[in-house]
């Protein structure tokens, strides 16, 4: 604990880990060094609170492993040599152009992240879509939020969470699917807990594991992995059967009812219970509870998204809320709790899956608007989306993609089936890794490493889960010879023909002004034209849409009008299909993975923070004591987990959190759980099913 009296100045920032979007103040001493962090008491999002990651965020600035200078080499098995920025950028631009000239524009791919500032996403999008011109451009958000995006678009016609955290203060019932808020989004959980203390309402948690959140629920539904759609269909069966649906809302604001009910007919709870593992009476009780509540809301996270049914799962949660009239009203909503600090910013502005400001590549008007705005011709843009991150790596294996630029993402730890990722990276003609840390695992395969400044060494915005845009001011100079991602993208643009035609604003704030101009329009949901950096800081964050003269909007679709062709939301029936890898005789355990509160993603940052590491130092495996007894495995012994892909070692933690046929391992650690996971993808979102595969367990001393 640093005494606040040593702080000479507090600088305004937004936490750069999860999507809660906590407002942070960084305390600098009289020499300009950041010495402490505290929650901003004025900010409605966190009301002065921070979790362990936010509280220790000031330790990031000079932490171990920071990249201090650009590095280059001919082959990835050679040692890196230090280089100037000019040399590193020349080498990168030359490699991109050589690959594109030889193999076509799409032979070079770019994968970014949910970690950059929004202005950087916009600038990267401009560089990739407008200058480099590859269509194989994606973000690592495909690993976490793609199913939510896809589901929102299918149901409501647009991405963007319709609700907000204030809905916790207004709701009469909350159902959480595959979300462990106390560990994943601790401050959102604190908001929810505070709301329930003031005004108790039922909390139902759907999760195969007895998570911390499940322990705090009134009702815990330990659903069979991957069968959430069956549970929701059975709930809707009861709601229609017992005339509990909001027929007026359905009639006025939705379409597709008859197709939905036709599918639901097959999900009588008596039959559904055999698939989803929740007994008929409980399904009926929960359905009644949800439908009879004056307002009810659903939240979800990776338990829904990271599945071969991810997009359908989101659509079905939206269906449940639409048929009960719980969209667009205080306390009645469908709120995806998103993953990274700026997963929303990349969805809104990066152009990964389309064009900036939620414009679609498939829409000729949208292509024309952006081309006119940037001063190029629309035929430079592709007419449909290229490959997602999960399809880019297989395309490297087949030789379709020869070069790759990774920005603030670490697929050697984060992607499923990492042995395959390793082989793909080794095959590349050229890999450039841009990251704040040179010791990031994927950098082993890079030909060029570009050291990026972190977070409060830069200035710009993040958008949080509830569409709130908040600001980080530059607090300190860049570390060593690192440069902001914004600078790197604008410099790289100069190497390409269009780079001289398309103006690149010289500062993030001017880029934000450009985004405001591009967002303006009465028909546009994502309108930020009423915002400015100063207004955002004064308000400690503003939610979009925020048109000129407005102060932001807490909820979407409050008038029952949706951004679809006819203004109605889509009810889309979803049928269960069983394509998961499941436990069998040879691989008898479900492998589930997830987060711990101390770490973020692949530990690139939290792995360097003393207390985060001390509290959660090694990969562990939760195992039910009954299952352990049968295998002769004891608490804190090491075991080898073996899947059809590979194997990994973890220390056993005996606990009844997991059923006898399931084990759980945190996903943060290198060379661990994602050596085992399966790369099966959701057909709509291309998001991987990280949470459902089969393993067997062998005590290490028995091999």
Evaluated on CA atoms 650, 653, 654, 656, the torsion sign reads negative
Which residue lies nearest ligand SF4, judged by its C-beta? 54
Residue 150's nearest CA partner among 138, 158, 139, 161 is 158
Whole-angstrom Cα distance, residue 556 to residue 336? 13
Of 153 and 347, which has the nearer Cβ to ligand SF4?
A: 347
The yes or no reply on residue 299 touching ligand SF4 (CB under 6 A) is no
Q: Please, which of residues 100-129 interact with ligand SF4 by CB under 6 A?
A: none
The Cα angle at residue 693 between residues 690 and 694, in degrees rounded to 5: 150
If one asks whether residue 20 binds ligand SF4 (CB under 6 A), the answer comes out as yes
- Site residues (CB under 6 A) for ligand SF4, limited to 22-41: 22
Tokens describing residue 139: 């973000």
472 with 461: CB under 8 angstroms?
yes
Among the residue ranges 50-58, 65-73, 278-286, 667-675, the one whose residues contact ligand SF4 (CB under 6 A):
50-58
Pick from 7, 13, 18, 95: which binds ligand SF4 (CB under 6 A)? 18
CA dist., res. 687 & res. 685, Å (int): 5
Among 72, 88, 109, 187, binds ligand SF4 (CB under 6 A): 187
Q: What are the backbone angles phi and psi of residue 29, rounded to the nearest 5°?
A: -85, -175
Q: In the set 12, 40, 53, 132, which binds ligand SF4 (CB under 6 A)? A: 53
Please state whether the peptide bond connecting residue 545 to the residue before it is cis, i.e. omega within 30 degrees of 0.
Answer: yes
Q: Does residue 390 touch ligand SF4 according to CB under 6 A? A: no
Taking the complex as a whole, how short is the minimal distance between the CB of residue 616 and ligand SF4, in angstroms? 14
Nearer to ligand SF4 among residue 20 and residue 180 (C-beta): 20
Q: How far is the CB of 541 from ligand SF4 (least distance, A)?
A: 12
Residue among 17 and 589 whose Cβ is closer to ligand SF4: 17
CB 220, min distance to ligand SF4, A: 23
- Residue 46 vs 369, nearer CB to ligand SF4: 46
Residues that bind ligand SF4 (rule: CB under 6 A) add up to a total of 14
CA gap 415, 306 in Å, rounded: 12
Closest distance to ligand SF4 from the beta carbon of 23 (Å): 9
Q: Name which position in 7, 11, 13, 17 contacts ligand SF4 (CB under 6 A).
A: 17
Residue 433 near ligand SF4 by CB under 6 A: no
267 binds ligand SF4 (CB under 6 A): no
Nearest approach, Cβ of 492 to ligand SF4 (angstroms)?
30
**Could you tell me which of 219, 218, 212 has the C-alpha nearest to residue 200?**
218
Closest CA to 519 of 509, 530, 508: 530
- Residue where the block lists tokens 């939290």: 606
Task: Compute the least distance from the CB of residue 333 to ligand SF4, in Å.
Answer: 20
How many CA atoms lie less than 13 Å away from 121 in the CB half-sphere? 34
Beta-ladder partners of 117? none
Of 15-23, 343-351, 534-542, 664-672: span binding ligand SF4 (CB under 6 A): 15-23
Does position 60 interact with ligand SF4 (CB under 6 A)? The reply is no
Q: What is the dihedral of CA 612, 614, 619, 624, to 10 degrees?
A: -100
Cβ distance to ligand SF4 smaller for residue 20 or 434: 20
Range list of β-strands (E), 452-577: 460-463, 468-472, 542-543, 569-570
Is 157 a binder of ligand SF4 (CB under 6 A)? no
Q: Say if CB 72 and CB 81 are below 8 A apart.
A: yes
- Beta bridge pairs of residue 359: 355
How far apart CA 437 and CA 664 sit, in angstroms, is: 28
Instruction: Name which of 51 and 315 has its Cβ closer to ligand SF4.
Output: 51
453 belongs to the binding site for ligand SF4 (CB under 6 A):
no
Minimum CB distance to ligand SF4 smaller for 42 or for 634 = 42
Interface pick for ligand SF4 out of 7, 12, 54, 371 (rule CB under 6 A)? 54
Q: Which of 27, 114, 160, 186 binds ligand SF4 (CB under 6 A)?
A: 186
Residue 53 Cβ, how far from ligand SF4 at the closest point, in Å? 4
Residue 449 has, within 13 A of its CA and on its CB side, a CA count of 29
Rounded Cα distance between 654 and 668, Å, is: 20
Q: DSSP of 280-295, one letter per residue?
A: HHHHHHHHHHHHHSSS
C-alpha separations of 90 from 405, 442, 457, 467 in Å: 14, 22, 25, 38
Which helix (H) or strand (E) segment holds residue 300: the answer is strand 297-300
Tokens 């280089």 -> residue: 83
Binding ligand SF4 by CB under 6 A: which of 51, 302, 641, 659? 51
Specify the 3-state DSSP secondary structure of 195.
Answer: helix
Kindly state whether residue 132 participates in binding ligand SF4, applying the rule CB under 6 A: no
Query: Minimal distance in Å, beta carbon 45 to ligand SF4?
Result: 8
Residue range at the interface with ligand SF4 (CB under 6 A); choices 19-27, 444-452, 557-565, 637-645: 19-27
CA-based nearest residue to 354, from 392, 382, 326, 317: 382
Query: For residues 51 and 452, which CB has a smaller minimum distance to ligand SF4 in the complex?
Result: 51
Point out which span in 184-192, 303-311, 376-384, 627-635 binds ligand SF4 (CB under 6 A): 184-192
Interface segment toward ligand SF4; rule CB under 6 A; list 14-22, 25-33, 120-128, 242-250: 14-22
Residue of 495, 546, 536 whose CA lies nearest to 516:
546
Contact residues toward ligand SF4 (CB under 6 A) are 15, 17-18, 20-22, 46, 50-51, 53-54, 185-187
């Amino acid at each position: 604990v640093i005494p606040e009296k040593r702080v000479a100045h507090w600088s305004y920032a937004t936490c750069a880990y999860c999507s809660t979007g906590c407002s942070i103040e960084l305390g600098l001493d009289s020499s300009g060094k950041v010495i402490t962090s505290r929650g901003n008491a004025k900010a409605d999002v966190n009301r002065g609170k921070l979790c362990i990651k936010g509280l220790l965020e000031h330790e990031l600035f000079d932490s171990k492993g920071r990249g201090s200078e650009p590095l280059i080499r001919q082959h990835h098995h050679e040692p890196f040599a230090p280089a100037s920025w000019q040399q590193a950028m020349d080498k990168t631009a030359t490699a991109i152009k050589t690959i594109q000239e030889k193999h076509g524009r799409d032979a070079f791919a770019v994968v970014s992240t949910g970690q950059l500032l929004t202005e950087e996403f916009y600038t990267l999008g401009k560089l990739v879509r407008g200058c480099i011109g590859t269509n194989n451009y994606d973000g690592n958000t495909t690993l976490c939020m793609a199913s939510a995006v896809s589901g929102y678009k299918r149901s409501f016609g647009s991405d963007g969470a319709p609700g907000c955290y204030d809905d916790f203060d207004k709701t009469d019932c909350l159902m959480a699917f595959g979300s462990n808020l106390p560990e994943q989004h601790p401050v959102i959980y604190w908001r929810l807990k505070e709301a329930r203390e003031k005004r108790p309402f039922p909390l139902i948690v759907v999760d195969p594991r007895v998570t911390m959140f499940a322990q705090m629920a009134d009702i815990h539904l330990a659903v069979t992995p991957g069968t959430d759609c069956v549970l929701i269909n059975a709930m809707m069966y009861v709601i229609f059967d017992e005339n509990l649906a909001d027929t007026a809302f359905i009639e006025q604001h939705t379409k597709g009812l008859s197709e939905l009910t036709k599918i639901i007919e097959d999900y009588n709870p008596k039959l559904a219970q055999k698939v989803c593992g929740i007994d008929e009476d409980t399904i009926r009780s929960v359905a009644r509870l949800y439908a009879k509540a004056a307002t009810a809301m659903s939240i979800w996270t990776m338990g829904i998204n990271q599945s071969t049914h991810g997009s359908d799962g989101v659509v079905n949660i939206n269906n449940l809320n639409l048929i009960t009239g719980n969209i667009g009203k205080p306390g009645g909503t469908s709120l995806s709790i998103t993953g990274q600090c700026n997963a929303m910013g990349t969805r809104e502005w990066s152009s990964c899956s389309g064009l900036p400001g939620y414009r679609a590549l498939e829409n000729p008007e949208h292509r024309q608007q952006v081309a006119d705005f940037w001063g190029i011709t629309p035929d430079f843009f592709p007419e449909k989306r290229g490959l997602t991150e999960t399809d880019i790596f297989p395309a490297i294996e087949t030789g379709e993609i020869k070069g790759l630029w990774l920005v603030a993402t670490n697929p050697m730890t984060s992607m499923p089936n990492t042995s395959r990722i390793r082989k793909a990276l080794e095959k590349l003609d050229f890999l450039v890794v841009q990251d704040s840390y040179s010791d990031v695992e994927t950098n082993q395969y890079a030909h060029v490493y570009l050291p990026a400044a972190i977070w409060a060494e830069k200035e710009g915005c993040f958008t949080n889960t509830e569409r709130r845009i908040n600001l980080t001011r530059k607090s300190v100079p860049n570390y060593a010879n690192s440069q902001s991602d914004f600078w790197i993208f604008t410099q790289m643009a100069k190497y390409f023909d269009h780079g001289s035609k398309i103006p690149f604003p010289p500062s993030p704030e001017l880029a934000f002004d450009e985004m405001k101009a591009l967002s303006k329009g009465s028909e546009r949901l994502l309108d930020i034209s009423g915002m400015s950096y100063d207004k955002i800081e004064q308000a400690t964050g503003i939610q979009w849409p925020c048109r000129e003269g407005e102060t932001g909007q807490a909820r979407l679709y409050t008038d029952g009008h949706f951004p679809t062709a006819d203004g109605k939301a889509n009810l889309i029936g979803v049928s269960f299909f069983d394509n998961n890898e499941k436990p069998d005789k040879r691989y008898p355990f479900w492998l589930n993975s997830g987060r711990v509160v101390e770490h973020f993603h692949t530990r690139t940052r939290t792995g360097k923070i003393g207390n985060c590491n001390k509290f959660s130092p090694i990969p562990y495996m939760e195992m039910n004591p009954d299952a352990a007894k049968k295998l002769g495995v004891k608490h804190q012994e090491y075991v080898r987990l073996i899947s059809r892909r590979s194997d990994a070692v973890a220390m056993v933690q005996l606990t009844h959190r997991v059923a006898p046929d399931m084990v759980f391992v945190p996903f943060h650690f290198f060379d661990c759980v994602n050596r085992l996971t399966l790369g099966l993808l959701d057909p709509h979102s291309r998001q991987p099913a990280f949470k459902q595969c089969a393993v067997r367990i062998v005590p290490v001393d028995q091999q």
